[in-house]
Chain A
């Protein structure tokens, strides 16, 4: 329990750091872009939009920096991110709510699949050390883990879409002429559109999990408790999963939490390449349109998503590892 409380504290600290960074970025930039933007949009936007920008930046010339900061924190906590400039007069929150399911469905699922699949392959490779699987796994996946995400996506588009006359779609989350509904054809359409981007995430991220899991397995298999299990005559299956893999998984979970930032970077680029209407694609669009309120809220949203994933890893760690549970 104390372990989880400790991690919750870290969660809060990181979130606060991200929010604070978000608050200060516009203020630390040369030439004060916040005021410059306000001035630039002043004549062209109605008062409501200007007010939205003021909320996004927390800018109010009559207030001290401190009270601006407090007001900004309050708006952030209550989810009031103001109005999007691109999709005016829709609120930033509604835009994000629209994009979030696509990102979680595509990137979230593909990442979890890569982690689970990679961990399994790594377990087998480390267990049968020097076997057929293990002789090809390390070199192949060292190379795939160094591939640029967006380029893999483009190569998949080239092979499965361009060279095969559009066998698989490479643009958007569903066909333009399809009407979103919970019907068989529409679900199939969505899945077809998700296939290539999901494959991209899978190909580029699975290698890291395989390699760390394999190396952890190799280290763990040399431990005395594994030999003890053998001496007791336990089945190979039991030793492999209950003794070795369970322990080898711990550092991998920690590694998963730490490399999520990298996964997010890849995900943004994948969404960009496939025009997939998730958070990353929306972020790049917001940047191109200088939609600062949307941009800042998206950064916070992505940070929260990563932090939640990290917290889930922590809970899993506490569940798998009695030492973490009882640590004072």
Chain B
């Protein structure tokens, strides 16, 4: 899987592309002609399929059961070997995909909704509401959330999936809200909104039907950014043992590997494999995010003009 990234990306700068990206198919065409976006989409689709149909990829039905010999090296029966508890690492990896992906998508979605609500209404309502909402956003941005989560978890006990998702949403919305507010502010006095106001449209109509559609690409970027945040932070929480240790995820796999000194006892695959999956899932969101930046801001795209003319604007 890592080969896809390595093979797929270095050529981006040299390959000339003639497809007109501005029109004709819109977002889909844009994604298809951007290599970073394509790599991201392919990875994401792959993980989604694995998460939805884990049984297609392994014949082991209960990856949690301690059913094999302990600490086996990789073989044809156990592609990545077994854990110190006698579980098949490959099967755990496959079944662990679901939780990581669910956390990413759900947290990304909910945090984005919260960002849009706070950011856009702050910009659109203005005045004291804006000041209050912006101050709140800034406070949430700056207070180090991860230690806060750890402290909360210490009092509330280990987190179930819902607790983790809730905490990540509460701590993950502020960055997007700030950016969305900035963009909504710049839209506020545009003519098309003025004309909607003159037409006598309701505020809610203007926000939902006029403002939001023009912000689609930033909203998408917010989703991808929050999803990346969720993947990495959830993995970190699970790694230090604050996740739901009875359910299977890549982070908890790493937790058990670490607490059994997998590195020192000659089972590097137990650590490498789940970490690589987290990295690849994170990379797919990051690549898509960066690609959307390029798509919405043509100045950032890899240069395609003949060299030597780059000094022109």
Contact = CB atoms under 8 A, between A and B. Distances in A.
Partners in one complex: yes
Interface string B129-144: 0000001001101111
A29 B13 contact: no
Given A136-B10, A154-B271, A158-B268, A26 B279 contact: no
A302 B146 CA distance: 10
A89 interface: no
Contact of A150 (B147, B150, B228, B236): B236
A147 B14 CA distance: 27
B285 interface: yes
A3 B171 CA distance: 27
A26 B297 CA distance: 47
Interface string A203-226: 000000001000100110110000
A262 B10 CA distance: 28
Contacts of B307: 130
B310 A25 contact: no
Nearest to A208: B286
A41 B162 CA distance: 31
Contacts of B311: 230
Interface residues of B, number: 62
Given A148-B232, A227-B313, A283 B286 contact: no
Contact of A142 (B271, B272, B283): B283
A222 B311 CA distance: 9
Most chain A CB neighbours (cut-off 10 Å) among B13, B233, B302: B13
Given A18-B143, A260-B142, A146 B9 contact: no
Interface in A20-41: 21-22, 25-26, 29-30, 33
Given A25-B155, A148-B278, A265-B144, A143 B287 contact: yes
Interface residues of A, number: 69
Interface string A268-284: 11001100000010011
A258 interface: yes
Contacts of A147: 279, 282-283
Given A135-B12, A135-B302, A283 B155 contact: no
Contact of A21 (B36, B148, B305): B148
B300 A215 contact: yes
Given A129-B310, A148-B282, A154-B275, A139 B10 contact: yes
Interface in B273-301: 275, 278-279, 282-283, 285-287, 290, 293, 297, 299-300
A264 interface: yes
